[in-house]
Amino acid sequence: MMQQAGNLKKGEFIIYQGDIWQVQKTEFYSPGKGSALMRTKIKNVSSSKAIDYTFKSNESVEIIEVLSVEMQYLYKDSESAFFMNQQTYNQYEIPLDMIGDIIKFFKEGETMYVYVSDDKPLSVRPPVSVTLKVTHTENAAKGDTVTNAKKEAELETGAKVMVPLFIKTGEVVTINPETGEYTGRSNA
Amino acid sequence: MNVKASVSNLENYKKYLIIKNEIVSFLVKKNYQELDLPVLSPKLIPESCLEVFQTEFRNMSYKQKLFLTPSPELFIKRLIADGIGDCFYLGKAFRNAEHFSSKHSFEFTICEFYKLNTDYMSFSKEVLDLFLALAKKVNGKNYIYFKGKKISFESFEKITVAQAFYKYASIKDTELFNHKAFLKVAGLKGYKTEGFSYEDLWSQIYAQEVEPNLGISGRPTLIYEYPSVFAPLAKPKNKKVSKRFEVYISGIEIGNCYDELNDYKLQRNRFAIEERLLNQSGTIWADTDYGFLEAVRKGLPNCSGIAIGVERLGMIFSDTHNINDFKLINFE
């Protein structure tokens, strides 16, 4: 499917110079000299290398249609993460560099959506929210009443995030994996 | 879109106000007359690189199309032609078709200031003095830190557009101004050229290969002598280029300056070219402000003027990385 570069959206997969790239960031730009542009950061699905590329806003770009397939996150090694299609039991490997920082919030055994094109896994669709247990955080000092004050907490995946002072070790919190921000206390 | 109040931005907003107020006090101290100007106008200067917002005034059966001004230039140059002298406007400007981003908004704060009997290169010293005044205000020194990097305001790095295209994109002078040769080089570099104009490719290569290198060597960069096709309101220097410079800090365009064109015939010809480009593009455009041409004909004194994006300048001088972080009201 062809689309004008000015309409590109984060997360889409495009063909650029013969390779498949995922759009990581877009910024429309009208420089006040010449034509309007679309600044992007795109990541090559084969090499996981990210580049900055500026398209003309009215340039046609080929978008690849991808499937979001439900898969179980199995484990990761130093280079890749491994997922299993729960329908077919086929296993898929995705380089950690392609998944990016959100991997640190993935818990083994959890279900995720993996972008697949022609049975090739491209990347992981970032979950809107992840629910994780706090394995360690210091108790807040009494009398610390500064509003919006935060402290560090280590989660069960090993990731460290900032949480409000009232959160205690053993509690379950929700995190936006894309920003790494605490979004709430879970009742689960 | 929805309206969102962001009181959590109050601290950033206060930093922005200090910078905005310092710009005003610097210009007032330098004897520029402060101007309060309309943001709605029945006519505009035709500029093909901009798209505007249109509205309508109605009273009974009377109707008048009005446009939000993308720049106060049409008002200021009239006042200069009528003898107001050195002057400035700091207020809102509106540009359609510019999505929200970390450095863009369709509504923004512009500061335009004009000085008579100078030329754009001498005028650049005044711009540097403004930056110095801001650095002293926020940091007490001739420098600041932005994203962990020191930026000093004692001098500009100066480079012509032609030198920059050669240095950063390996495009020679002979290719830069020859539209056919330029499109050929762009094609060899891997850019899509079929169905696109010189202006399209020029902008793309400038943004992709040149711009990220500007203002990143510890001081602001002044890039000057733009092809005349990109400077319809600037005085020509020769057949190829016009007296326009832009100032960059850390890869971000901060200001745009011209030696203001005061040759009536040339301005009239450039109006005709811009009107033709606007008709072809199908963008929203206003009724042409021929009264502006009359002001130029009456006699616009030699002057230079610069337009500065105030939020962007605020970003740099408060080490804030997104203009939306200054806003108490955002649209989502």
In tens, the pLDDT along A54-90 reads 999 889 999 999 999 999 999 999 999 999 998 999 9
DSSP B234: B
Name which of A20, A22, A1 is nearest A99 in CA terms.
A22
CB burial readout A2-12, b (16+ within 10 A) else e: eeebbebeeeb
Contact B207 A31 (CB under 8 A): yes
Give me the mean pLDDT over the B151-175 stretch.
97
Residues of B in contact with A33 (CB under 8 A): 49, 203, 206, 226, 230-231
Choose among B101, B196, B202: nearest Cβ to A27: B101
**Mutate: best of B95, B200, B233, B244, partner A, most A CBs <10 A:** B200
Cβ pairs bridging A and B (under 8 Å): 68
* Chain B residue whose CA is closest to A28: B99
What pLDDT, on a 0 to 100 scale, did the predictor assign at position A112?
A: 92
Give me the mean pLDDT over the B192-216 stretch.
94
* Chain B residue whose CA is closest to A25: B101
Contact A27 B192 (CB under 8 A): no
Choose among B95, B199, B226: nearest Cβ to A30: B95
Give me the mean pLDDT over the B86-111 stretch.
90
Q: Does B49 touch chain A (CB under 8 A)?
A: yes
Are the beta carbons of B247 and B134 closer than 8 angstroms?
Answer: no
Q: pLDDT digits over B243-300, tens only? A: 999 999 999 999 999 999 999 999 999 899 889 888 887 777 788 999 999 999 999 9
Are the beta carbons of A132 and A176 closer than 8 angstroms?
Answer: no
Name, in order, each residue with C-beta under 8 angstroms of B121's C-beta and a sequence gap of 6 or more: B224, B245
Contact B253 A54 (CB under 8 A): no
Are the beta carbons of B76 and B35 closer than 8 angstroms?
Answer: yes
Find the chain A residues whose C-beta atoms sit closer than 8 A to any C-beta of B. 17, 27-37, 39, 52-56, 58-59
| Sign, Cα dihedral of B163, B165, B171, B173 | negative
Task: Name the minimum distance, in Å, from the CA of B207 to any CA of chain A.
Answer: 7
What pLDDT, on a 0 to 100 scale, did the predictor assign at position A148?
A: 62
| Rg value, chain B, Cα | 20
At position A177, the amino acid (one-letter code) is P
Residues of B in contact with A28 (CB under 8 A): 98-99, 101, 104
Token digits for A111? 């279900």
What pLDDT, on a 0 to 100 scale, did the predictor assign at position B54?
A: 94
Choose among B104, B199, B208: nearest Cβ to A54: B208
Residues of A in contact with B204 (CB under 8 A): 35, 37, 54-56
Q: pLDDT digits over B21-78, tens only? A: 999 999 999 999 999 999 999 999 998 888 899 999 999 999 999 999 999 999 999 9
SS3 A132: strand
What pLDDT, on a 0 to 100 scale, did the predictor assign at position B281?
A: 77
Q: Does B224 touch chain A (CB under 8 A)?
A: no
Residues B265 and B229: their CA atoms lie apart, in Å, by 16
Neighbours of B226 (CB within 10 A): 26
Element (H, E) at B225: strand B221-227
* Chain B residue whose CA is closest to A40: B208
- The gap from C-alpha A43 to its chain's centroid, in whole angstroms, comes to 13
